[in-house]
Structure 1
């Protein structure tokens, strides 16, 4: 499966390369992800700090995919756990639009386990809960925990993981979604909730579905 992805905000060349390298590490053998920068126009947010930024990201991502060259592309992917352009009410596109949150949360919800989440700020936490409510996966086990981190902390593995470790100490869900698509998590933890990288899980699920579509033999993609 050849996936065309786009960032939810304007990013630097270095950050784009870091995110692309992360996808290259995470994809199963039958999946490729080609990541693009959303752009630098006035309608493109540089961070998701409030409701206006999130709405602008949704509109810009939707427009970007509508204008994309779909030659040699099987699916679109917003590089964001908030799934801009995905779900009920979203505009139809030239290719299926995969959602990191929809894939990961849907799988975890199907296990019947309690699901929680951690998010960088309050606006992202609120949008995560709103988006999940449209997917029919049921309510979270507990409210999203806000980490109070900056955009710069997304690329700071130690700072992010330290904040998450502190948050997990007071959470009771069995699985906790890390509500950022671009964070390299340190760990795993030996106790408490299982911290889930939704990007890694969603890509594995996409790989499994693609294998099934092309003659699944029973082997789970590496």
Structure 2
């Protein structure tokens, strides 16, 4: 299975290389993710709602440029699922969302789940997506980490910030939390499962291809 993916923000060569290597590590056998930069129209980061809207337009355009014959599915490199339709759009190559795949899987197994995000803007957009997908009854809300964009490749710093949020979710009886950034490696030992949406989505897609 070959998956076409696009970053939701502009990234430099080093960050694009890091993200591509991460997908190679996460991809199950038989799955290949072809990741491209979002291009000059994509925002440098998500700091405002306008940034998210601009990103959605840029990702939609970038995904549409790829030949339908080259890929089995398209999946944006973003937990906000930019360009992912809520209802079927009739495309020959479906655009799937890692948030939708991950959250739906958790809900399907009866798991009430939360999420952590870098800032409030991303948190609000993620919560809205969960509602659009009809998964609100299983959603325990978002904990905002208040981290800057440079934290994304800093695994240690991100996971240190996450630990406190997981403690709060655990106190509420929540057992699973979606990591609200698709480009961060999760490595926090905790009673609450910190779910990597990219890893979970790839695993689900691979399982579906083999069914």
Name the TM-score class by shorter chain: over 0.9
Q: Name the SS for the 2:21 alignment partner.
A: helix
Native 8 Å contact 1:87 1:135 kept in 2: no
**Hey, which bits of structure 1, 4+ residues long, moved more than 3 A?**
89-94
Secondary structure, in 3 states, of the residue corresponding to 1:130? helix
Backbone CA RMSD of aligned residues: 1.5
Matched, 1:38 2:38: yes
C-alpha distance 92-150 of structure 1, shift in aligned 2 (>3 A): farther
Count of aligned pairs: 208
For residues 88 and 141 of structure 1, the distance between their equivalents in structure 2, rounded to whole angstroms, comes to 18
1:187 Cα deviation (Å)? 3.1
* Whole-angstrom CA distance in 1 between matches of 2:143 and 2:3: 31
**Residue of structure 2 in register with 1:197 after alignment:** 196
Alpha-carbon offset, residue 61 of structure 1:
0.6
TM-score of the pair, normalised by structure 2: 0.93
Equivalent pair of 2:107/2:138 in contact (CA under 8 Å): no
Alignment deviations for residues 172-195 of structure 1 (CA, whole Å, 9 cap, x no partner): 311100010000112332x2x211
**Is 2:62 aligned against 1:64?**
yes
Distance 2:55 2:74 in 1: 15
Deviation at 1:24, TM superposition (A): 0.2
Q: Paired residue for 2:182? A: 181
- Please name the residue that 2:10 is paired with: 10
2:159 corresponding residue in structure 1: 161
**Alpha-carbon distance, 1:93 to partner:** 4.3
Matched-pair contact (CA < 8 Å) for 1:62–1:91: no
Runs of 5+ unmatched residues, structure 1: 213-222
Task: Report the Cα offset of residue 200 of structure 1.
Answer: 0.6
Shift of 1:88: 2.2
After superposing the two structures, state which structure 1 stretch, 13-22 or 180-189, moved more. Answer: 180-189
Taking a change above 3 Å as real, the CA distance of residues 91 and 37 of structure 1, as seen in their structure-2 partners, is farther
- Report 1:1-222 matches (<5 A): 1-40=1-40, 43-88=41-86, 93-171=91-169, 172=172, 173-189=174-190, 191=191, 193-212=192-211
Deviation at 1:139, TM superposition (A): 3.4
| Structure 2: runs of 5 or more not aligned | none
Q: What is the CA–CA distance in structure 2 between the aligned matches of 1:14 and 1:93, rounded to whole Å?
A: 33
Q: Give the deviation of 1:90 after TM superposition.
A: 8.4
* CA deviation vs aligned residue, 1:125-158 (integer Å, no higher than 9, x gap): 0000111111112335432000001111000001
What's the secondary structure of 1:133's corresponding residue? helix
- Per the normalisation by structure 1, the TM-score is 0.89
